[in-house]
């Protein structure tokens, strides 16, 4: 990979971001396609100043992660339709100083689930009500699923449920719910706290399919519980790869090496 005055700069912004695999997969794609670009991770707390820097430095595109997916919206110049409906942005495209926000998280989640399970006509319980939860909920709803929301802060979960026409339950009632699918969009179980799970063992038998959007570790405690309960398991890595591939297409107009991106990320996590 060459770095010179023509090198385009991309990156991910969040807090924290040291766990992110996005630099690994995006830089691999740039290299394999011979694109003179580099992708870096930026740990950001001052979002407004960061976006001023994006404009000033001519950074071509951004991935956006926790906790900025919703807070970034009023700071952008334009919001694409699906991102506007979801109310969360995970992708920014710099169009000659105008920053366009869009969302590829929903697509990543849908493609990952469809590889192993069903969506249309099925019901899904979503844990969480943040940016990732919004993307997954809107994506599943778009594909014909019925949605139930559970969030530790009930009012926040209720607000999301009302917005998308879903049901909401208090967190304490999760053990009484039986749905086809369960999707964890909370960070519980993320490295380095890998022995935590959002749910106890005995609850996992209530679901046929369990997806965890956490991808580091590759096999979270929740997925180990789900496997033991006989569930179809969907890890967060495929969602990461598919949403990242969609970002790459938006930024470059080229088709990324999706399988190579997945293999590289999986090998890193296994090591």
Would you please indicate which residues are annotated as catalytic (active-site) residues?
69
Q: What are the b/e assignments for 210-237, b being 16+ CB within 10 Å?
A: bbbbbbbbbbbbbbbbbeebebbbbbbb
Strand extents, DSSP E, the chain: 8-14, 37-43, 61-64, 78-79, 91-95, 98-102, 123-127, 146-151, 167-170, 179-184, 207-212, 232-234
Residue showing tokens 């110049």: 77
Asked whether 183 and 117 are in contact (CB, 8 A), the reply is: no
Residue showing tokens 């699906």: 82
Measured CA to CA, the distance from residue 126 to residue 142 in angstroms comes to 15
Q: Which residues pair with 233 in a beta bridge?
A: 210
Asked whether 215 and 237 are in contact (CB, 8 A), the reply is: yes
């Amino acid at each position: 990979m060459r770095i010179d005055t023509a090198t385009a700069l991309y990156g991910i912004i969040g807090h924290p971001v040291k766990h992110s695999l996005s630099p690994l997969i995006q830089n691999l794609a740039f290299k394999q396609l011979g694109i003179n670009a580099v992708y870096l991770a930026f740990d950001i707390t001052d979002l407004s100043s960061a976006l001023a820097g994006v404009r000033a430095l001519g950074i071509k595109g951004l991935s956006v992660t926790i906790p900025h997916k919703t807070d970034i919206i009023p700071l952008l110049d334009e919001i694409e339709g699906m991102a506007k409906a979801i109310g969360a942005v995970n992708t920014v495209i710099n169009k000659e100083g105008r920053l366009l926000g869009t969302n590829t998280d929903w697509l990543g989640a849908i493609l990952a689930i469809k590889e192993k399970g069903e969506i249309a006509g099925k019901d899904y319980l979503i844990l969480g009500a943040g940016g990732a939860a919004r993307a997954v909920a809107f994506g599943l709803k778009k594909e014909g699923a019925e949605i139930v929301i559970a969030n530790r802060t009930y009012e926040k979960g209720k607000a999301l449920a009302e917005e998308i026409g879903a049901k909401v339950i208090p967190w304490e009632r999760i053990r009484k719910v039986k749905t086809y699918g369960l999707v964890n969009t909370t960070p519980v179980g993320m490295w380095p706290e890998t022995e935590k799970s959002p749910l106890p063992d005995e609850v996992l038998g209530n679901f046929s399919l369990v997806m965890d959007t956490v991808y580091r570790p590759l096999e979270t405690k929740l997925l180990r519980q789900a496997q033991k309960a006989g569930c179809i398991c969907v890890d967060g890595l495929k969602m990461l790869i598919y949403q990242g591939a969609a970002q790459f297409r938006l930024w470059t107009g080229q088709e990324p090496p999706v399988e190579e991106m997945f293999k590289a990320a999986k090998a890193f996590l296994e090591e």
